[in-house]
Amino acid sequence: MSEWFESWFGEEYAALYPHRDDSEAARAVTLIATNLGSRPVNRVLDLACGSGRHARYLGARWWTSGVDLSEVMLRMAKRGDVPARLVRADIRELPYRDASFDLVVNLFTSFGYFETDAEHEKVMCDVWRLTKPGGTFVLDFFNVAEIKRNLEPYDDDASIKGGKVVQRREITADGRFVVKHISIKAEGKEFVERVRLFTRDELVAMLGRAGFSVEANYGDYGGEPFTDTSPRVILFARHA
């Protein structure tokens, strides 16, 4: 039985979001580089790299590998000449040797996609495995408090090839997931996007159990301190 992300991050997703903000990606990578300072970085992994929006800027600074499950997203990265070694894999089964990377990044809420917390814990532990001692893992997630405050239940402003796209959003009754239902009317297609609502404290605790120590926490790509109203939870964690 396929999981929601296997079908959603394909041609329809690429058509609905054709121009994700490259300037935002550049700011995120600049924040990472600034925070690392003089810490040596030789090899970088972009975990769940998608179409390579961040890998483009990572690869301009360091040798970079990008891993993603979506063939469509990886083809887009290749067509865009993203300067990274691109690998197709499920992030729950990462095909890299122990201590392969000085820096691992997981950006723009490319986490929380799985059914169980045990699967998310497994990803964290595997990231620890392939990060060098003293290396850094950067996790960029949405701020759950802001998602709950500002969730837009319905919109039909988007379109694909002139056809209306209806999007409905909800928080599950148990409060654990935010779910988006995407209906592409002209094509008669329906998709679901579901992300686990991990709070900052839950993410910090999970990183700790995996063997990381959180060193810094920002609330946006400009490097502002995290607050309850920040749009992002950006955690810099050191391989202990």
Q: Is the pLDDT reported for residue 18 higher than 80?
A: no
Residue 108 pLDDT > 70: yes
Residue-level pLDDT at 186: 80
Q: What pLDDT score was predicted for residue 205?
A: 98
pLDDT value, residue 122: 98
Q: Which residue has 């759950």 as its token pair?
A: 144
**Alpha carbon separation from 85 to 41, 95, 111, 218, 229 (Å, rounded):** 16, 13, 21, 28, 36
CA 59 to chain centre: 17
Integer Cα distance of 134 and 150 in angstroms: 38
Taking domain 4-143+198-239, whether its CATH number is 1.10.1740.10 is answered by no
pLDDT level of residue 20 (50, 70, 90 thresholds)? confident
Domain ranges of the chain: 4-143+198-239, 146-193
Burial of 215 per CB tally in 10 Å (0-12, 13-18, 19+): exposed
Span 48-77, average pLDDT: 97
The confidence band for 118, taking pLDDT boundaries of 50, 70 and 90, is: very high
Q: Specify the pLDDT at position 185.
A: 84
